[in-house]
Amino acid sequence: MSPEVNTLWIKSLARQYGFDYCGIAKAQELTQDAKRLDAWLQKGFQGDMTYMENHFEMRVDPRKLVPGAKSVITFLKNYFPSNIEIQKKENPQDAVPNIAKYAWGEDYHEVIRNQMHSFLEEMRQKIGKIEGRGFVDSAPVLERSWAQLSGAGWIGKNGNLIRPQAGSFFFIANLIVDIELVYDSPLPQDYCGTCTKCIDACPTQAILPDKTIQGNHCISYYTIELKKMEGLPENASLQNWAFGCDICQDVCPWNRFSKAHQETHFKPLEGLLQLSKNDWMQMEETTFKERFKKSPILRTKLKGMKRNIQWLMDRRL
């Protein structure tokens, strides 16, 4: 089949899988992104995330990840919760800590990775022999750059991909393959304009005016990536966040267009949004592992959650 026919079929299949967007870009070296990433690393904004320093060439050139790669297919999957779920989260008793929306349900890495494997197999059955790999925020891939190149949206001042009339509450997945397809075009401009709401709202001043994110000052970094709490500035304001942070997305005007997702795997885990700080502090390891075995929260471990919540309690947040 021709690249045109294959492209139409792939995008149709993406809709069947429940993806909210599917776009395609030509596999090539991301020269400008390489310069920006190198400058970001040189300034130490990765903090303890030393894995960001690894496999630099692979991060900026998908052909290093998949030999012979010709196309990068980008998928978006919405995870914005329903109004009922948000009310449960935003109007609980005062002692309930904040948890980023992406972590309310099952681990998106596993959910979307399984969908990627199945998707690639269907491509092989339909199109023929294809060499390819799927990636979901778990390998050296600049997924937001590929999403932008595929026409999915633009990179906002808060570093998130923002989709016109849809917002930024999307997971991004990439499928790198060795077949030629029809490539989409990036949006002609970004639409943040003069808005600085995300910059103004960030309590740790992690967002710089030039769209640079000081990763080592982000609340998500403090609560997930930072393993030693003594590395957290004493005057840092976590604003009751115990795992991740949504502040820069919650204040973004484009997210007024966000609609509730339809992915059952992303529904809030039972009881999660009602757990108080005391509930977390009294939780035992076996209970934690069983209750959150499919959750992104498992990453920080119970020890990490208790550390974060103790920090909040000590400051009466």
pLDDT value of position 232: 67
pLDDT value of position 293: 95
CA-to-CA distance for 63 and 129, rounded, in angstroms? 18
CA-to-CA distance for 271 and 288, rounded, in angstroms? 13
**pLDDT, tens digit (0-9, with 9 covering 90-100), for 178-195:** 999 999 999 999 999 999
- Is residue 210 annotated as part of the catalytic site, yes or no? no
- Tell me the residue ranges of DSSP E strands in the chain: 21-26, 71-78, 98-99, 132-135, 154-155, 161-162, 170-177, 241-243
pLDDT value of position 93: 44
> Which of the residues in the chain have pLDDT under 50?
91-93
Catalytic pick from 137, 178, 250, 279?
137
Domain range summary for the chain, segments of one domain joined by +: 3-93+101-177, 197-259+270-314
pLDDT value of position 38: 87
